[in-house]
Amino acid sequence: MAVGATITQSQINADAAQLSRGIEVWCQGVAVVQTYLVATPDTDLEALGFLPNDVALLKSAFGDLQKLANIYAGKDTVSPAYDFGTFSRQMSGLLLPT
């Protein structure tokens, strides 16, 4: 008996489809949040309970995530290399190694 997942064509197809759909949904979600953040004054977010530093982090992270989504969609490029997770990792609650 093998330990762990059994690799099959069906499993590879399911994983590939899930990941491919996932990035499309992720990009759409990022665009929705970014549109809201761009249109919302910092003071309105602070009135919801965010501290000024939190507002800056939130807007920086979603600015980066939107650029990453744009690169995926062929709407933008990046050079030199850039770590798009610098700010969003801080919001994730996990500081993962880069």
pLDDT digits (tens, 9 = 90+) for 79-90: 999 999 888 888
Q: Is residue 37 within 8 Å of residue 46, measured between CB atoms? A: no
pLDDT number for residue 57: 96
**Short-list 17, 42, 8, 28, CA closest to 72:** 28
pLDDT number for residue 97: 57
> Could you give the CA distance from residue 7 to residue 88 in angstroms, rounded to a whole number?
32
More confident residue, 96 or 39: 39
What does the pLDDT look like over 32-76, one tens digit per residue? 999 999 999 999 999 999 999 999 999 999 999 999 999 999 999
- Angle between helical axes of 52-72 and 9-39 (0-180°, round to 10): 130
3 found inside a domain: no
4 found inside a domain: no
6 found inside a domain: no
1 found inside a domain: no
- With 80 as the cut, is the pLDDT of residue 13 above it? yes
- Number of domains the chain is built from: 1
41 found inside a domain: yes
> Could you give the CA distance from residue 15 to residue 23 in angstroms, rounded to a whole number?
12
Range of the domain at 26: 11-92
97 found inside a domain: no
